[in-house]
Structure 1
Amino acid sequence: MFQLFCCYLNEDSNIWGNTLPEILSCYKRDCPRESHLEMIREINLFINEHLDDLDSAFETDYGRNFSPELWGYTTLSFLEELKRILSE
């Protein structure tokens, strides 16, 4: 997930698009399908490992680069949306 946050969902994300689907379409175009599937597995693992502290774990790992709340998501709804878009 670090690649997505460091390269696509950062302070320059408007280079790739203005919405999460637009930005992820660029990521999907630039990365092979296996990378999409691996990220879905990584997201599932992250959620399962942090069931009781998902918000704080996300903040610790990715908060300096990205805040789901600023995009209108909770941490869980954001991760679920990532999985949905990546699986399309």
Structure 2
Amino acid sequence: MISSNRYPEMEHVFDIYFGQDFDLFGETVPEIIACYKKDSPHHYKDLIRELESFRSEHPDDLDIAYEHFRRGFRPEGDGYTVTSFFDEIQRLLHE
């Protein structure tokens, strides 16, 4: 089981920004991440670190491990795999 204490910023982003009402923050991953960065300018670097850590802990089971964070947004619906979804989030956070 994944502890929310280990990944608090991921919990926040996937609960709120990619949660059931994700469309309040945008219609695309870039729009949603832009909103998150605007709202959380001092926390998004924590998200970068958490995503990197999470990926390194789950190199062979990222899809299964991500199930813990699934709320409302389905990356597959926008043509992403879980890996490409994480890649896109990380790319946008580094911009």
TM range, smaller chain:
0.7 to 0.9
Instruction: Answer whether contact 1:10 1:66 (CA < 8 A) is retained.
Output: yes
Measure the CA separation in 2 of the matches of 1:77 and 1:64: 18
1-side partners of 2:38 and 2:64: how far apart?
Answer: 31
Describe how 1:49-88 pairs up with structure 2 within 5 A: 49-59=57-67, 61-88=68-95
The CA RMSD over aligned residues, in Å, is 1.3
- Give me the whole-angstrom Cα distance separating, in 1, the residues matched to 2:57 and 2:24: 32
What is the CA-CA distance between 1:67 and the residue it aligns to?
2.6
CA deviation map 1:66-88 (0-9, x unaligned): 43212211011000110000111
Identity over the aligned pairs, expressed in percent? 45
Moved over 6 A (4+): none
- Total equivalences in the alignment: 86
Aligned ranges for residues 2-81 of structure 1 at < 5 Å? 2-32=11-41, 34-59=42-67, 61-81=68-88
Q: 1:16 to 1:39 in 2, by over 3 A?
A: same
Aligned residue identity for 1:3: H
Displacement of 1:6:
1.0
d(CA) in 2 for partners of 1:52, 1:18: 30
Unaligned 5+ residue runs, structure 2? Answer: 1-9
TM-score by length of 1: 0.88
